[in-house]
Structure 1
């Protein structure tokens, strides 16, 4: 597990002077290191791990990202936890960050400001730890690296001479996955394609907010318990203390149906607690609010 950070830090600058095509370290960043990281992710049907040393040529700051496919299936958009290596390999960040390519393509010179604004909004929707960093420095003049600096939501930093051991690293990764789940739960996605001009879309993205309580998911779980309401899976029975008080909260009312503004919600009727598999499956239904349909599907398979 520690190879995930140590090998790029120790070897990247040397390998960067070599040919890019067919380079073994580049291949490790694309395949081997994402596979190592994917072993920590509990639901590999929902999450995918991707890494990049660059496209066609070496990038200043290689990265390895964990993507929740309910949020995004590409590192070019959305938000996700990502290991970002500094250009001089003096250290590496674990950052909850944003995809920058689509923002850069759309907003042009305003991209940095938009990413910073979004990062502030995202931070307001999660529980911040005292160890979380709001600013990162990748020591690069590359445009994408500077956008990743602006897009950082929260981060942890590991200097090259004091990398975490396996237990510490796994603990931090799980912490960031929890933040990712919390942000996904509280975030609002906007359908910008209907009836908006390009200028209106930009204003809409910059100023639209739906305020949602970042602690709702915790309240839902405390009220409804930790047994899946679809398949009755109990994480504690399966995993012991590791699974205690673990479950995922699912909003039964699609965000698109909420409209604009503040909304009264009912923890008892507007949410369900689901295991990771059922949470993924309910989002594949034509109607992700139809818990009864999901239960019926499960019953037929018993």
Structure 2
């Protein structure tokens, strides 16, 4: 396992002087090293590990990132744990960091400041011992991406080249960062309603909200199920015209108690409902937010009373 750190540190600078195309070490960054990390992941359908030595040419600071697809499916945006190698190969960071490409495209010259502000905000949302982690990293490179990764660091652990961790230590650190990654993914205020839940139930609640908030899944659900509220039958287009066209919200129906922490599999047809904003808010007020029929019956009862 520690080979994913040892080999790049020992060989990268030498290999960097050679042709990029077809290079064996470059291939290991794309395939072998991510596969080694994958062996640690309980749910390989939810997480995606990606490594890069560069695109077309060698990068100063190669990296290997672990993406939770409920948060982001690309290292260009979102946030995720990532191994970032210093350009001089004197060490490597395991960093909870941010995708920089999307921020650079949107904020141009202010991108670094935006990344720093976001990093401060993220740090405020997780519980960590400041003595165990770094809030600043230095990659020894003047490239744009390296400077932005430095700005985007949330927390990190540093491994100097002369004191690399054992396989056991490395596995332990990866698991610790994944746990922090998960805790960061959930920051909704409504979570305060569940503060008395046990650890397993807490993880289930977090997973539920992450599934429901996943934009990619939501768009697939809407495309599949349409834009008519499945509780009250209203459409935003009927009420707001063109402004409301193709607008609806996706609600994750699967009961939280049935969510397994180690497995992630979504049935778009049966695990979701499309709801208007009001019905979406109301179903979350039910004791069982998966009970769509109960919400329908409440609406029907109130409607019948109004007709009398």
TM-score, scaled relative to structure 1:
0.71
Q: Distance in 2 between matches of 1:150 and 1:252?
A: 28
Runs of 4+ in structure 1 over 6 Å off? none
Q: Distance in 2 between matches of 1:53 and 1:160?
A: 18
- Pairing 1:107-122 to 2, within 5 Å after superposition: 107-122=107-122
Q: Distance in 2 between matches of 1:217 and 1:18?
A: 57
Query: Taking structure 1 as reference, are residues 252 and 82 closer, same or farther at Cα in structure 2, changes over 3 Å only?
Result: closer
Higher helix proportion, which one?
2
Corresponding pairs, count: 235
Question: How far has the Cα of 1:41 moved from its partner?
Answer: 1.1
1:226 aligned onto 2:194: no
Query: Taking structure 1 as reference, are residues 8 and 217 closer, same or farther at Cα in structure 2, changes over 3 Å only?
Result: farther
- Pairing 1:109-188 to 2, within 5 Å after superposition: 109-129=109-129, 130-186=131-187
1:276 pairs with one of 251, 261, 266: 261
Whether contact under 8 Å (1:47, 1:66) holds in the other structure is yes
1:50 partner SS = strand
Per the alignment, residue 300 of structure 2 pairs with none
Per the alignment, residue 272 of structure 2 pairs with 286
1:92 partner SS = strand
Whether contact under 8 Å (1:182, 1:217) holds in the other structure is no
Per the alignment, residue 296 of structure 1 pairs with none
Q: Deviations over 1:37-60 (max 9, x none)?
A: 011111101000000000000000
Structure 1 range deviating more: 38-47 or 275-284? 275-284
Per the alignment, residue 36 of structure 1 pairs with 36
Q: Deviations over 1:45-80 (max 9, x none)?
A: 100000000000000000000000000000000000
Which segments of 5 or more consecutive residues in structure 2 lack a partner in the other structure? 215-254, 275-283, 293-308
Question: How far has the Cα of 1:106 moved from its partner?
Answer: 1.1
Whether contact under 8 Å (1:248, 1:276) holds in the other structure is no
Whether contact under 8 Å (1:115, 1:150) holds in the other structure is yes
Q: Distance in 1 between matches of 2:113 and 2:19?
A: 36
Question: How far has the Cα of 1:286 moved from its partner?
Answer: 2.9
Q: Distance in 2 between matches of 1:171 and 1:283?
A: 34
Whether contact under 8 Å (2:37, 2:49) holds in the other structure is yes
Q: Deviations over 1:11-39 (max 9, x none)?
A: 00000000000000000000000000011
Whether contact under 8 Å (1:48, 1:69) holds in the other structure is yes
TM-score, scaled relative to structure 2:
0.69
Question: How far has the Cα of 1:250 moved from its partner?
Answer: 3.8
Question: How far has the Cα of 1:114 moved from its partner?
Answer: 0.3
